[in-house]
Structure 1
Amino acid sequence: MLHNLVDDVVYSVYSNMGRKALTKLRAGMFLVGRIVPLHPGTDAWLVTGHFSIFPKSARRQIAQAAVEQLTAYPELLCRNPAMLRRAWEIQNEHRADFIDQVGTDMIVLPPDEAQETLREHYRRQRQRALANLDERTVKRAAKTGPAPEQLAQLSDEMPASGSVALIYDEVEGLNHYRDFGRLDALFADPALTRDRTYLAQLREYLNDESVSPLAIRRLAQRHPDGADPVFRVLLRKPGFSWARDGEDLLRRRKKAFFDREPIPSISAVGERLAELLRVTR
């Protein structure tokens, strides 16, 4: 029986190499490896490939590795519906706090102000998390946890941009977009399509597979009268209608965002992993 620290689920795991493959395991040890479903009709899993065994004393290393994996791949929570629901709840709480902080779920700021707004947001979240801990644990966490300025660091290219949009979407979570103010001005005044630099910026947003459709949808929502004339010039299609053709356009250019199930941008931590993190701190 293996308790997965990432999704907080207990798995019944077998080996096709016989008992000898698992004889070194003892209760409380840690194992890093890969398992696969044995059969769709059972809850049994099979060890595949090599696995590494760690003693109880490796709990700091293992806990940190589990947190890093969960942070990088929040979709791993999908095997635990309860934790997935909790992750959505946490994201909703953070979004509500962001709206309380800035007055809206979207704001366009100069890069330095956007940086400070993010820093304040993460500071507030950290304070709220520490409020639920005892005094001793708070002191340890204050020394070892990431500082707000580390969490809120924008990418290197952001400071060179003229503006940054911070959008805390209900589904996609907190995102930031560089040079958003230029596009906002374009949709507000479609006459700016005569300036090719504005169109180049929009084309970059549209063609970049890493940029979510959310950014373009928000532009169209903010300036519904500007979407049609802007895209007609950009696409050279006089009959283009955002209301009729907008989603099809995004599906073609942003296919990856439509092919995956929505998952929260924030991960929940299971009880056992949380316990290990408290001990290691």
Structure 2
Amino acid sequence: MERFVAQRRQALTEAEREMLLGWRDVVEGYFEVRQPGDGIGTAVFHNLVDDVHYRVHSNLGPDVFAAVRPGMFVYGRIVPVHPATDHWLISGHLVPFPRSSGATVARAALQVVTADPGLLRRNRKLYERAWQLQADDRAAFLKLFGSDLVILPPATAQARMIEHYRHRLAQVGASAEPNGMPTPPATSSTVTAEEMGRLPEDYREADSVGMIYDETEGLNYYRDFGRLDAMFADPALVGDHTHITLLRAYLDDPTVSPLPLRRLAKRHPDGVDPVFRVLLRKPGFSWQRDGEDLLRIRKREFFQQETAPSFTVTGDRLAELLHTPEQ
């Protein structure tokens, strides 16, 4: 869209530019039809993911809404007519679901939002609640482990995390707001401590697991983190192929954020320069001077996106549908 706007031979007005660039702001998800088409190509959809109502239009006229009735569900994409308005335009096709499919649609919507809690940002109340739940969970983690960075054998890490989640679920069950749950995502409205605390198979086979509960990025697990920590504590280990290869993998892996590398540098300020000088083959490398530039280059995508909370908070309607018996 940016390329289309930039390459237009006939100059666009500022309002036209804002309208076209606003179409990058796509909302995709599962909607409940609250108000049918009004005969002029307009309807009201309630997004089950972010719990927001959208007044939706179609540039193809009212026939687009002919197959949907209040209480039905649709899957589709919408974009703003213009960023300055509260009106939205259908992009592509709508996939309708009957009223009786509410529980099935709700589970699909739950999978969407748990995979990307950042989708809640349109609903500031839910979004802020998700951040608060993450902060509460981090405080409980700190109370149990005594630190926000812990390195343990896999079996111990799993047992302690099950203990953590068992305690947290008991607290949530006793609270008046049960609609919050941590990511990793659940495929149903209920999840056990054993499911939440279970490590992936490849982590269970590692020599150690690092757990960092960051204020912003939430709880993250790092495979063989103890090996890296030992190398930064004793840079003489940099000559060991296994250790330096692991660090290179952390630096090159597009799914690993800058967080673990920053924390290693903070834990071992005397070891970070010798280790990275060998890894990068740059004798003059200084983490204090060059570290952030290195991360911005090698971890570019993490500097281009907004960090979302690691907790999912469901709206009342989604929570209600999740507890609806199958029909």
Common topology (TM > 0.5): yes
Residue aligned with 1:237, SS: coil
Q: 1:77 aligns with which of 106, 120, 127?
A: 120
1:65 alignment counterpart: 108
Report how far residue 280 of structure 1 moved.
4.3
Report how far residue 247 of structure 1 moved.
0.8
Name the count of aligned residue pairs: 273
2:248 alignment counterpart: 203
Residue aligned with 1:238, SS: coil
Report how far residue 204 of structure 1 moved.
1.2
Report how far residue 145 of structure 1 moved.
1.9
2:135 alignment counterpart: 92
Report how far residue 29 of structure 1 moved.
2.1
The C-alpha deviation readout for 1:63-120, integer Å capped at 9, x for no partner, is 1111001011222112222221111111111111111111111110001111112212
1:120 alignment counterpart: 163
Q: Is the aligned partner of 1:153 residue 2:153?
A: no
Counterpart residue identity of residue 320, structure 2:
E
1:225 alignment counterpart: 270
What runs of 5+ residues in structure 1 fail to find an aligned partner?
135-142
Counterpart residue identity of residue 50, structure 2:
D
Aligned partners of 1:274 and 1:20: how far apart in 2? 32
Report how far residue 57 of structure 1 moved.
2.0
Please say if residues 59 and 280 of structure 1, whose CA atoms lie closer than 8 Å, have aligned partners that are also in contact: no
Counterpart residue identity of residue 134, structure 2:
Q
Report how far residue 252 of structure 1 moved.
1.1
What runs of 5+ residues in structure 2 fail to find an aligned partner?
1-43, 178-187
Which protein is richer in strand relative to its size?
Answer: 2
Aligned partners of 2:102 and 2:172: how far apart in 1? 22
1:241 alignment counterpart: 286
Which protein is richer in helix relative to its size?
Answer: 1
Counterpart residue identity of residue 244, structure 1:
R
The alignment's TM-score, normalised by the length of structure 2, stands at: 0.79
The C-alpha deviation readout for 1:150-173, integer Å capped at 9, x for no partner, is 222222211221100011110111
Report how far residue 124 of structure 1 moved.
2.0
Computed over aligned residues only, the root mean square deviation of the Cα atoms, in angstroms, reads: 1.9
Query: Which one scores higher on RCO, CA 8 angstroms, separation ≥ 6?
Result: 1
The C-alpha deviation readout for 1:11-53, integer Å capped at 9, x for no partner, is 0011223223223433322222222212223211122322122
The C-alpha deviation readout for 1:212-254, integer Å capped at 9, x for no partner, is 1111111111111111111112212121111111111111111
Residue aligned with 2:77, SS: strand
Alignment of 1:17-96 (within 5 A): 17-96=60-139
Aligned partners of 1:177 and 1:144: how far apart in 2? 27
Task: Percent identity, please.
Answer: 53
Aligned partners of 2:272 and 2:46: how far apart in 1? 51
Residue aligned with 1:225, SS: coil
Q: 1:107 aligns with which of 126, 150, 155?
A: 150
1:277 alignment counterpart: 322
Aligned partners of 1:107 and 1:32: how far apart in 2? 42
2:310 alignment counterpart: 265
